[in-house]
Amino acid sequence: MKKIVFLLAFLFTNLVSAQKEVVNAFVEKWDNSKVYLVKMTESMPEDKFDFKPTDREMTFKEQLMHILDNMDWLSTTHFSNGDYKKKDRTAIVTKQQIVEEIGRSFDEAKIRVENNKETDLGKKVVFFAGEKTKLQILNLLQDHVTHHRGQLIVYLNLNQIKPPAYVGW
């Protein structure tokens, strides 16, 4: 019986340790993602924030607000109390305000993830695309930012602005 208890304790400790490493890796990448998005935002002249390459696309500013709304939604719904309410960002109009809001939203999402029980990463949550684990939601958080940031790189290039150097891991 002692061997079984020891084995279970050993497995649980390793599971917690592995999941903590996943969260630590996410946080490192998340912080660098914030730095990269801020640099990209700072690269675009403020008078070009309403630029969009086609009528069916979002403007540069709308892309940024969409990124922030998504990270707020995912991190609140799946790593906090689950009581998500979309923020009213209509008063955020200047480039500096947008840069500050990017920092704030990234930091709030990171805190929600860090304060969540690491052992919950395997927990399944209800998601519009079907049941997902919290680990999958972590991946989606980063992937969504990356997807729209890629679009912003195109916006910069279309305006003859060299995008900032990539900030990765």
* 19-57: pLDDT as tens digits: 788 889 999 999 999 999 999 999 999 999 999 999 999
**8 A C-beta contact, residue 95 and residue 19:** no
Q: Considering only CA atoms, which of 71, 72, 44, 73 is closest in space to residue 60?
A: 44
Residues 6+ apart with CB under 8 A from 31: 106, 110
Task: Please report, for the domain that includes residue 98, its CATH number.
Answer: 1.20.120.450
pLDDT in tens, 95-152: 999 999 999 999 999 999 998 875 688 888 878 888 999 999 999 999 999 999 999 9
SS (H, E, C) the chain: CHHHHHHHHHHHHHHHHHHHHHHHHHHHHHHHHHHHHHHHHHHCCHHHCCCCCCCCCCCHHHHHHHHHHHHHHHHHHHHCCCCCCCCCCCCCCCHHHHHHHHHHHHHHHHHHHHHCCHHHCCCEECCCCCCEEHHHHHHHHHHHHHHHHHHHHHHHHHCCCCCCCCCCC
Domain contains 163: no
What residues make up the domain containing 84?
A: 22-158
Dig out the tokens for 20 from the structure.
């903590």
pTM: 0.86
In the chain, the number of structural domains is 1
Domain contains 15: no
pLDDT in tens, 52-97: 999 999 999 999 999 999 999 999 999 987 788 899 999 999 999 9
Q: Treating both helix axes as pointing N-terminal to C-terminal, what angle do 95-115 and 134-158 enclose, rounded to 10 degrees?
A: 160
pLDDT value at 6 more than 50 = no
Domain contains 8: no
Identify the pLDDT of residue 4: 64
Domain contains 49: yes
Identify the pLDDT of residue 9: 47
Domain contains 117: yes
Domain contains 16: no
CA dihedral 140→143→147→152, nearest 10 degrees, is: 110
pLDDT value at 10 more than 50 = no
pLDDT in tens, 140-154: 999 999 999 999 999
Domain contains 101: yes
Query: In the predicted model, what is the mean pLDDT of residues 6-20?
Result: 56
Q: How far apart are CA 65 and CA 120, in angstroms?
A: 29
| Binding-site sequence positions for a divalent metal cation | 66, 144, 148
94: Cα separation from own chain's centroid: 22
Domain contains 4: no
Q: How far apart are CA 100 and CA 89, in angstroms?
A: 12
| Binding-site sequence positions | 66, 144, 148
